[in-house]
Amino acid sequence: MPWSDTVGKTDAIVGLAEKGQQGLLAYRFRTHGDLVRYAKENGPATNFDLQRWKLSGLPITTGIAGVFQTLQALQWEVEEVIYQDNNHAVFTCSSKAKSEQAHFIFEDQPRTVRFKALNAAAREAAANEAKSERPKVSKTTDRSAVQKDFMKRIAASSTTQMQPASPRAQPLKQKADGPTGETPAGKDSKK
């Protein structure tokens, strides 16, 4: 929340923080609830609780009006487009639509539009969306119980331990009782 000289002493404000390179100061609060209470009591700007998002992938030639129309087409409730440059646009909204990637064609080239949450309210909304979209998986199913029962029955019925056959395993060598006739001839001694 931007700093002003007219603020009285309060326990909700923890301190000041410098914002950006211009040396702007802002109040720091312990919790978001403290910020909301302070804003309602003292009547500063009303957009402190809006979600702030960054939109990447739109060309600069779309302009701020084009960004606004694009976001409305994607079901976003846009309050204000704050900034746009060559790489991205920053906007605020009261509630978000799905932040999935959008695709469009610009100058015969496919492009992707991406969204990134910039403040706590936007990150919380994105997290809630991700939680609601996760599939519900039950921990144990009937199929897994049947498989476990089957494996228990097999383990109980097998009494001997068998070693797996290996095509590369060589049979164990056995010592011969006598000469086999395959003994190599020794060297002849010179007389």
More confident site: 115 or 179: 115
Predicted confidence at residue 166, as pLDDT, reads 64
Q: What are phi and psi of 122, to 5 degrees?
A: -70, -40
Average pLDDT over residues 136-162: 68
Query: CA 189, CA 191: separation in Å to the nearest integer?
Result: 6
Predicted confidence at residue 54, as pLDDT, reads 92
Which range of 26-30, 34-38, 84-88, 145-149 scores highest in mean pLDDT? It is 84-88
More confident site: 151 or 140: 151
Query: Residue 140 above 80 pLDDT?
Result: no
Share above pLDDT 90 across residues of the chain, in percent, rounded to a whole number: 2
**Where are the domains positioned within the chain?**
1-46, 50-132
What's the mean per-residue pLDDT of the chain? Answer: 76
Query: Residue 46 above 70 pLDDT?
Result: no
Predicted confidence at residue 171, as pLDDT, reads 67
What is the value of pTM for the model shown? 0.53
> Which top CATH class is 50-132?
alpha beta
The per-residue pLDDT for range 22-31, each reduced to its tens digit, is: 777 877 888 7
The one-letter amino acid code at 162 reads M
Predicted confidence at residue 1, as pLDDT, reads 47
The per-residue pLDDT for range 69-127, each reduced to its tens digit, is: 888 888 888 888 888 988 889 998 887 776 666 777 777 888 888 889 888 888 888 88
More confident site: 93 or 154: 93
